[in-house]
Structure 1
Amino acid sequence: MKIVRENVIFEPGQSFRVFSPSLRHYFLWHYHPEFELVYVEAVTGIRHVGSSVTSYDESDLILIGSNVPHLNFDYGIETDYEQIVIQLREQFRETLLAAPEFGAIDRLLERAYLGLVFRGETKRIAAEKIRRLQALRGYEALIALLDILQLLACSSEVAELNTEDTRIKLFLNDKIRMGTVYDYIHARYNRQPDVNEIAAQVHLSTSAFCRYFKRQTQMTFTDFVNHYRISQAKTLLLRDLSVSEVCYQVGIESLSYFNKTFRTLAGETPTGFKKKHLKK
């Protein structure tokens, strides 16, 4: 469960590949030299890119730079979802974007080491184009990909996930097994996860683990557990469980605290979330 390098294989004569992986039951904390554009539709999911750990609702569009560690975006999803991944060869910028007309796309890929998330109309239009790209081959596929990248390069509906360089050179000496941390939280989120216990599992003192965890995820361990609980709560609400049932199933003993935490992290009440999505 340590961070792994993914060996990306391209078909001969291809500068990029498009595929739809399904890995929701597998923790893949990984990196690769290839640039990656990911579009995923799901009720909710975890977005872990570099040191940024957040969640997404309904859909997500992310551009990830070369050698930036990230978790598969379908990890832990319990509902139906769609995921499309585009990976660009490591030499894509050097071989295809030398012309000045591609300057905007080149600058987009230069920024991608921070992890870029796209929203609004940009995400909607890009999703349509990505779906159409799946059916194309050869020259038509390359032109369609450049059209998508130009759309993203010219968009103002974008945010950077990280504020500093998180490429793999900064993670090579990482002695923490992130998979162990995620597995522990998944197994204990509905009870009382104990920071002392997980610290011992990864062979650190509690204070050292807390400092490490905050540095890696920009969250305290408690905050991270609450994010995970609310993510699981969304799935349970869509199974038409009552708010109080969901509250206790995710390990929160106070209904008022659950409602407050849900509103803070999801931007709406559990009841509002349930009504909106069950209506759909």
Structure 2
Amino acid sequence: MKNHDYRRPIEFTVPAHGDGAFYVMEDIGPEFYGYYHRHREFQLSYLLKGNGSFMIGNLIRPCLENEIFLIKPNDPHLFFKGENAEEEQSIHIVHLFFSLERLAPFFEMAELQAIRSLFYHIPASKLLPAEFAIAIRDAFSSLHRDEGPHKLIKILEIFDYLRYREKQLISLYSGLHKIEFHDSDGQRINTVIKYAIDNFKRNVTVEEVSSLIHMTPTAFCKFFKKHTKKTFVSFLNEIRIEKACQLLVNKRVESISEAAYQCGFNTAVHFNRVFRSIMKESPSEFIAQHAVER
């Protein structure tokens, strides 16, 4: 096993922004996220491709293709490759994060009481074996691309299927009780994220943000990437593109260039390049598919 610090899980800040109640993260590459960590959100993870091991608290077990992991808030955990795993083996895993606190009014609906019970009264993190999980593989595999009502409908389908298969869930009891963790890292990350959201329209520098939490720029860049799995610049650009999408969809600007300047980009060329990188289509293509008719 690689040398990870298992005794002191880092406070991972799910890099969600905007008003969305759910955040989807898709990992594709040679390795899993390499830090033993915990977070305040509930996490559902579907391993679409690859194999490895999963550590939660004091428990280590294999993680296999097509398994689903239901990870309780604040349960420290880590997905990792085994020592004998092939280096070129690719990993593809989809994570769905959601805050039980934020969704409390949603789960109060009478129609969702059975699903509420699944998440609010779960005694330990759980695993759904591949033989049962594969039925909703397609729902997870496209979740990263879905938006709006389509995304919500698909998430409800996943929730309902997990409720239906509740008896097939295997406990991942970790043996840890009431362990206190140091939250200062999470507080610093949250300070940075709020600052970025409040100031995305202007040129926010790494030097400026690092001084906000009393770190050098180099230390801050490593710190932010470790705790969010994104560079600060990438995160800031995602906020800007999200805001630009809102302007373009609702036709609140006269042109693509105006949207670019209002969202903190100095040139339309740079905006177009970043937009395509994040949205996988050009601003013009996005407008054609999503613009609201007036």
TM-score normalised by the chain length of structure 2: 0.52
Is the partner of 1:114 in helix, strand or coil? coil
Match in the other structure for 2:57? 50
**Within-5 A mapping of 1:74-223:** 78=87, 79-112=89-122, 114-155=124-165, 156-162=167-173, 166=176, 169-170=178-179, 172=181
Aligned equivalents of 1:112, 1:75: Cα separation in 2: 29
Structure 1 vs Structure 2 CA RMSD: 2.5
Asked if 1 retains the 8 angstrom alpha-carbon contact of 2:26 and 2:144, the reply is no
Shift in alpha-carbon separation, 1:25–1:81, aligned structure 2, 3 A: closer
Asked if 1 retains the 8 angstrom alpha-carbon contact of 2:48 and 2:94, the reply is no
Aligned equivalents of 2:123, 2:103: Cα separation in 1: 14
Asked if 2 retains the 8 angstrom alpha-carbon contact of 1:64 and 1:113, the reply is no
1:161 Cα deviation from its structure 2 partner: 1.0
1:114 Cα deviation from its structure 2 partner: 1.0
1:171 Cα deviation from its structure 2 partner: 5.1
Aligned equivalents of 1:57, 1:120: Cα separation in 2: 8
Q: CA offsets, 1:116-171, max 9 Å, x none?
A: 1002443001221111322210122112101101100110321111175x36x325
The one-letter amino acid of 1:128's match is D
1:94 Cα deviation from its structure 2 partner: 0.9
Pair 1:31 & 2:38 matched: yes
For 2:9, which of 3, 6, 12 is the aligned residue? 3
Of all paired residues, the percent bearing the same amino acid is 20
1:104 Cα deviation from its structure 2 partner: 1.8
Gaps of 5+ in 1: 174-280
Aligned equivalents of 1:51, 1:171: Cα separation in 2: 15
Is the partner of 2:97 in helix, strand or coil? strand
For 2:78, which of 60, 71, 79 is the aligned residue? 71
1:73 Cα deviation from its structure 2 partner: 4.8
1:84 Cα deviation from its structure 2 partner: 0.7
Aligned equivalents of 1:120, 1:26: Cα separation in 2: 22
Shift in alpha-carbon separation, 1:15–1:73, aligned structure 2, 3 A: farther
For 1:20, which of 1, 16, 26 is the aligned residue? 26
The one-letter amino acid of 1:146's match is L
Shift in alpha-carbon separation, 1:51–1:124, aligned structure 2, 3 A: same
Asked if 2 retains the 8 angstrom alpha-carbon contact of 1:25 and 1:75, the reply is no
Match in the other structure for 1:186? none
The one-letter amino acid of 2:98's match is L
**Within-5 A mapping of 1:200-279:** none
Aligned equivalents of 1:66, 1:139: Cα separation in 2: 25
Q: How many residues align?
A: 171
Structure 1 residue ranges (4+ consecutive) displaced by more than 4 angstroms after TM superposition: 73-77
The one-letter amino acid of 1:159's match is I
Q: CA offsets, 1:21-75, max 9 Å, x none?
A: 3572763101000000001134431111223211133332101011111013568
Aligned equivalents of 2:81, 2:101: Cα separation in 1: 27
Aligned equivalents of 1:90, 1:138: Cα separation in 2: 19
